[in-house]
Amino acid sequence: MVEFLRFRDDVPHEEPAVTLDAFLGQTNATAVRLESDEDARKLLPQLGQLALIEIAFPKFRDGRGYSAARILREAGYEGELRAAGDVLVDQIPLMRRCGFDSFVPEAAIDPAALERALGRYDDVYQKAADGRSPVWALRHG
């Protein structure tokens, strides 16, 4: 069972994440944690200095973090984007599509089930933050 998943090749960031309020009030933090009700767009002016953004999932039903992740990727953020909290194996493929590339699930995840889930669909219907070509693009390639 796995407690930390990372889909990046660079060295994991060591600095602990600060709250959004703390981040906005100081100039040199490089890691921040967004709660699910916080506006990801507040980070946009200072995206360049961030190496890690952690987005909280207090409950798996709370899907605001999916939009937050895409907004950050759409704005050009290339650092680590971490989903932390009530993250379930069947959600990770969707989260990967929204731009998350690391995961700290509350309950450890079965790597075999995750591998099956991530390899399930060869193709997708819509563009998202993962660069995959949707089937409409493949059809008219």
Partner 1 sequence: MYKYDQYDQAIVDARVEEFRDQVQRRLAGEISEDQFKPLRLMNGLYLQLHAYMLRVAIPYGTLDSRQMRMLAHIARKYDKDYGHFTTRQNLQYNWIKLEDAADILADLASVEMHAIQTSGNCIRNISSDQFAGAAADEVTDPRPWAELLRQWSTFHPEFSYLPRKFKIAVIAAEEDRAAVKLHDIGLQIHRNDAGELGFRVFVGGGMGRTPMVAPVIREFLPTADFVSYMEACLRVYNRYGRRDNIYKARIKILVHEIGAEEYARQVEEEWAHVKTLGLDPPAGEFERIAAHFAPPAFEGGLSDDLDRTDPDFALWLDQNVKAHKQPGYAIVNISLKPVSGIPGDASSAQIDLMADLAERYSFDELRVTHAQNIVLPHVKKADLYTIWQQLEANGLATPNLDLISDIIACPGLDYCSLANARSIPVAQKIADRFAGLDRQRDLGELKLKISGCINACGHHHAGHIGILGVDRKGTENYQLLLGGSGAEDASLGRITGPGFDEDGVVDAIERTVEKYRELRTEGERFLDTYRRVGMDPFKEAIYG
**Binding stretches for partner 1 (CB under 8 A):** 60-64, 66-68, 70, 74, 88, 90-91, 93-95, 97-98, 110, 113, 116-117, 120-128, 134-140
Q: Kindly state the smallest distance separating residue 52's Cβ from partner 1, in Å.
A: 21
Upper half-sphere CA count for residue 100 (Cβ side, 13 Å): 24
Q: How far apart are CA 122 and CA 51, in angstroms?
A: 30
Between 11 and 131, CB nearer to partner 1: 131
Strand ranges, E, within 11-137: 18-19, 31-34, 52-57, 80-85, 102-105
Between 64 and 82, CB nearer to partner 1: 64
Between 29 and 117, CB nearer to partner 1: 117
Q: Kindly state the smallest distance separating residue 14's Cβ from partner 1, in Å.
A: 30
Number of C-beta neighbours around residue 114 at 10 A: 18
